[in-house]
A and B are shown apart, each in its own frame.
Chain A
């Protein structure tokens, strides 16, 4: 499969108003994401994960290095709308990204901006609403919806642009467990059924456990990159980066430390139950 996102030697630091540069937020990031991959980016507060996400659709531009999305250089201002249609971004607070007082009009917002003709717009809005399961509530006001529903509307608003890549910048952080489940199920569905590339920025370990690949950031650099099993088995390194591992992985880790023969690559409840059953029967 082809690479959709290519980040090469990305450095970034904010410049203060007096011209002197402040601390580097990103210190040399190299990352390639393939079309159709489901990547989780983990890191504690201040690790630079959100800053990295903002580089993918040109909200921030690299101080040094280069970011290309589907062949478009993010620094190329003439293709910025094309870029933002390719890589759609969903933010943390659903209340602060919904523009209109009617659900379907909010979903249409991007298409209105792009000047899509009415018939096509209607079709794409309805499709996007059906994908996230909000079609029945399309005439409601966003203020009548729950957090998870609002976030699904925000996702539909991005989906209507038909992006190839969806970036969720801590989009589940403000939701209750039910809302998180709804949003994650929607995103997974799009990844599996439509081959959408998903970049999920999060600090919930269990969310990352369901991804194809986990990238761990600390202090503005990528410190780990691999399958969830490979990454989570390195419990000590994760703890150094200020992160927790999923509870089942931690359990397996503690059992191994205590001398039991159990695989370190356990990331979900079922695997853990199987491994424990095996351990008990032997």
Chain B
């Protein structure tokens, strides 16, 4: 049952988006977020929507998947939109009933916010859908490597992250085993009241933590045996080389960003 969990939701593929250098993808995603929030009118949002749609289509991943990434957040979006609608008092009043007032400014703000957030989630899903978590971690390490000069532990954080990713399937398998073992001893994990189930969770978590610590200890020894001594002087098997297509993608994104900023000034 736990085996169905996929963390990071990566969909292997060979689209042009998949093949982009992950470092560029990260920077482009950042620019994309700036793009969505830098212009305040319909034209700006329209440009952002066109950009998002193009990237979504190019990624070669079923659009259903992108809808799935938005769906869980819809209730929150609708609630915030309603609050905006009711509490924004400026602008022309469109509809009024006792203390409730809906203005055109409020309507604008709510609509824009919904569209922005939906575009934001879909657009940034492209990054996690087309890049494996381990590659992403690697790209973050490389992008942040200038921070090493400021004594920021970039390598250490990336190493922790990648070990965590490596051990997710191992620990899921272990949890499954512990659950079966505890069920065989009569622990009620799937039934009983909520409080009872929460209490029984300890029967799973305690052995899981004990074993995780033991694993960590053994892993540390194994790493030492393979001459691990921090990030100093390390070379990498995974090479990241920027190709012309990466620069082109970055260039296109910058043009879109510029267009959004220009549209924000003009209209």
Flag if B219 contacts A97 (CB, 8 Å): yes
Q: A97-B219, A99-B163 are in contact. Are A59 and B233 (CB under 8 A)?
A: no
Tell which of B134, B173, B222 touches A101, judged by Cβ atoms closer than 8 Å: B134
Flag if A98 contacts B225 (CB, 8 Å): no
List residues 44-85 of chain B with CB under 8 A from any CB of chain A: none
- Shortest C-beta distance, A39 to chain B (Å), equals 19
Q: What residues of chain A lie closer than 8 Å to B149, measured between beta carbons?
A: none
Contact digits for B223-234, partner A, Cβ 8 Å, 1 yes 0 no: 111111100011
Residue B203 is within 8 A (CB to CB) of chain A in the complex = no
Residue B218 is within 8 A (CB to CB) of chain A in the complex = yes
- Interface residue stretch chosen among A12-20, A112-120, A235-243: A112-120
Q: What residues of chain A lie closer than 8 Å to B228, measured between beta carbons?
A: 109, 113
Q: A84-B225, A85-B227 are in contact. Are A112 and B215 (CB under 8 A)?
A: no
Contact digits for A203-240, partner B, Cβ 8 Å, 1 yes 0 no: 00000000000000000000000000000000000000
- Interface residue stretch chosen among A67-75, A86-94, A194-202: A86-94
Q: A84-B227, A100-B162, A110-B227 are in contact. Are A118 and B237 (CB under 8 A)?
A: yes
CA distance A111 to B236 in the complex (A): 8
- Shortest C-beta distance, A79 to chain B (Å), equals 12
Flag if A113 contacts B215 (CB, 8 Å): no
Q: What residues of chain B lie closer than 8 Å to A157, measured between beta carbons?
A: 226
CA distance A141 to B162 in the complex (A): 13
CA distance A91 to B215 in the complex (A): 12
Flag if A59 contacts B224 (CB, 8 Å): yes
Residue B265 is within 8 A (CB to CB) of chain A in the complex = no
Q: A98-B166, A100-B162 are in contact. Are A111 and B225 (CB under 8 A)?
A: no
Flag if B237 contacts A89 (CB, 8 Å): no
Q: What residues of chain B lie closer than 8 Å to A100, measured between beta carbons?
A: 134, 162, 166
Flag if A108 contacts B224 (CB, 8 Å): no
Flag if A125 contacts B226 (CB, 8 Å): no
- Shortest C-beta distance, A206 to chain B (Å), equals 26
Flag if B166 contacts A96 (CB, 8 Å): no
Residue A121 is within 8 A (CB to CB) of chain B in the complex = yes
Q: What residues of chain B lie closer than 8 Å to A96, measured between beta carbons?
A: 215, 218-219, 222
Q: What residues of chain A lie closer than 8 Å to B163, measured between beta carbons?
A: 99
Tell which of B221, B227, B229 touches A91, judged by Cβ atoms closer than 8 Å: B221
Residue B239 is within 8 A (CB to CB) of chain A in the complex = yes
CA distance A104 to B173 in the complex (A): 23
- Total interface residues on A, using CB and 8 Å? 40
Residue A260 is within 8 A (CB to CB) of chain B in the complex = no
Residue B185 is within 8 A (CB to CB) of chain A in the complex = no
Q: What residues of chain B lie closer than 8 Å to A115, measured between beta carbons?
A: 233-235
Residue B165 is within 8 A (CB to CB) of chain A in the complex = yes
Q: What residues of chain A lie closer than 8 Å to B235, measured between beta carbons?
A: 111-112, 115-118, 121
List residues 97-145 of chain B with CB under 8 A from any CB of chain A: 132-134
CA distance A8 to B175 in the complex (A): 45
Q: What residues of chain B lie closer than 8 Å to A261, measured between beta carbons?
A: none
Flag if A97 contacts B222 (CB, 8 Å): yes
CA distance A266 to B105 in the complex (A): 94
Q: A101-B166, A102-B134, A143-B170 are in contact. Are A158 and B237 (CB under 8 A)?
A: no
Flag if A91 contacts B237 (CB, 8 Å): no
Residue B238 is within 8 A (CB to CB) of chain A in the complex = yes
- Shortest C-beta distance, B183 to chain A (Å), equals 23
Tell which of A93, A114, A118 touches B227, judged by Cβ atoms closer than 8 Å: A114
Flag if A121 contacts B165 (CB, 8 Å): no
Q: What residues of chain B lie closer than 8 Å to A97, measured between beta carbons?
A: 218-219, 222
Considering the complex, give the chain B residue whose CB is closest to the CB of A105: B237
Name the residue among A88, A99, A111, A122 with the largest chain B CB count within 10 angstroms.
A99
Considering the complex, give the chain A residue whose CB is closest to the CB of B133: A101
Considering the complex, give the chain A residue whose CB is closest to the CB of B219: A96
Q: A93-B218, A96-B218, A99-B166 are in contact. Are A57 and B225 (CB under 8 A)?
A: yes
Contact digits for A133-160, partner B, Cβ 8 Å, 1 yes 0 no: 0000000011100000000001001100
- Residues of B whose CB lies within 8 Å of any CB of A are 132-134, 162-163, 165-166, 169-170, 173, 215, 218-219, 221-229, 233-239
- 5 cross-chain pairs, A with B, having the tightest CB-CB distances, nearest first: A97-B222, A108-B237, A143-B169, A110-B226, A96-B218
Sample 13 A-B pairs with CB under 8 A, ordered by A number. Answer: A91-B221, A96-B222, A97-B222, A99-B163, A100-B134, A111-B237, A112-B237, A113-B229, A113-B234, A115-B234, A115-B235, A122-B237, A143-B170
- Residues of A whose CB lies within 8 Å of any CB of B are 57, 59, 81, 84-85, 88-89, 91, 93, 95-102, 104-105, 108-118, 121-122, 125, 141-143, 154, 157-158, 161
